[in-house]
């Protein structure tokens, strides 16, 4: 059975990478926009620079969401900090930077935001990414604030989280519908199973809930679909458009 269920109250709406429809993803501007839109939770991706600084980025490479190029794992933080992570989205965000994890955590405390941190390691760095990032979260996130949800597609990351930070609730991220999802969830001692909107069915949602797990679905930007999923028993959805979905499910 899932552990630590009382440690996290899953919301109906989580801002995906901030508010990715309106603002550049995984940036402080995006988190401020999510909060402005009414979100109380955000999701983001964290990885390590070449010199082991924890920072926010989804992709392995820098090209899509910054003016940098190539693998992030090859860049030091001194190189990464010079990049523009906003202009690709809109000229209004020119100069927005890739944030350090520490900067994001400070902003969340200031804005009263809860969060789901996805461990998104560069290839070959799963264990060290989980270890260093979890240590930083435990050091910097105020103990009197709600515990974050730590999730990953990488089994090695979740194993490290289970063993190194058992006090932090975990979410199992899945693509497709693996036959062994329940065995994985039990072994990793997660509190939630987080699945792709493309894969969810009323039957699978019912199985996950009947097994005692929270259920989150990514990424849902259509209001009618969000209402349908909640009717199926889904606890909450990740969305690029928090205001739109909040208005539909409030």
Q: Please name the helix (run of DSSP H) or strand (run of DSSP E) that holds residue 248, with its range, or none.
A: helix 242-249
Whole-angstrom distance, CA of residue 57 vs CA of residue 117: 11
| SS3 of residue 238 by DSSP | strand
Joined tokens for residue 239 = 């969305």
Dihedral-angle region of residue 233 (phi above 0 means left; psi in -120 to 50 means alpha; beta otherwise)? left
Going by the DSSP 8-state scheme, the letter that residue 76 receives in this structure is -
- Rounded to an integer, what is the distance from CA 220 to the centroid of its chain? 14
Least Cα distance to 112 among 167, 14, 171, 39 occurs for: 39
**Whether 40 is catalytic:** no
Choose, from 8, 10, 15, 16, the residue flagged as catalytic: 16
Q: Please name the helix (run of DSSP H) or strand (run of DSSP E) that holds residue 217, with its range, or none.
A: strand 214-218
Q: What would you report as the CA-atom Rg of the chain, rounded to the nearest whole angstrom?
A: 17
Choose, from 58, 73, 138, 244, the residue flagged as catalytic: 58
Looking only at the bridges linking them, the beta strands covering 41-48 and 54-56 are antiparallel
Active-site residue set: 16, 58
């Amino acid at each position: 059975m899932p552990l630590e269920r009382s440690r996290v109250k899953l919301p109906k709406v989580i801002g995906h990478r901030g508010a990715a429809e309106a603002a550049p993803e995984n940036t402080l501007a995006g988190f401020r926009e999510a909060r402005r839109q009414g979100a109380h939770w955000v999701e983001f991706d964290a990885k390590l620079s070449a010199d082991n600084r924890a920072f926010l980025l989804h992709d392995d490479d820098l090209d899509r969401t910054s003016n940098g190029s190539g693998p992030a794992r090859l860049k030091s933080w001194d190189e990464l900090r010079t990049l523009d992570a906003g202009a690709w989205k809109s000229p209004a965000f020119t100069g927005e930077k890739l944030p350090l994890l520490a900067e994001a955590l400070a902003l969340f405390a200031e804005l009263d935001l809860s969060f789901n941190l996805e461990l998104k390691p560069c290839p070959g760095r799963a264990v060290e990414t989980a270890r260093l990032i979890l240590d930083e979260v435990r050091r910097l996130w105020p103990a009197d604030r709600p515990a974050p949800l730590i999730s990953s597609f990488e089994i090695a990351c979740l194993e490290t989280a289970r063993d190194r930070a058992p006090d932090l609730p975990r979410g199992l991220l899945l693509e497709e519908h693996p036959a062994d999802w329940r065995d994985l969830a039990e072994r990793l001692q997660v509190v939630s199973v987080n699945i792709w909107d493309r894969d969810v069915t009323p039957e699978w949602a019912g199985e996950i809930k009947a097994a005692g797990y929270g259920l989150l679905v990514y990424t849902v930007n259509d209001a009618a679909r969000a209402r349908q999923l909640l009717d199926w028993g889904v606890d909450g959805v990740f969305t690029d458009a928090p205001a739109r979905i909040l208005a539909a499910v409030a």
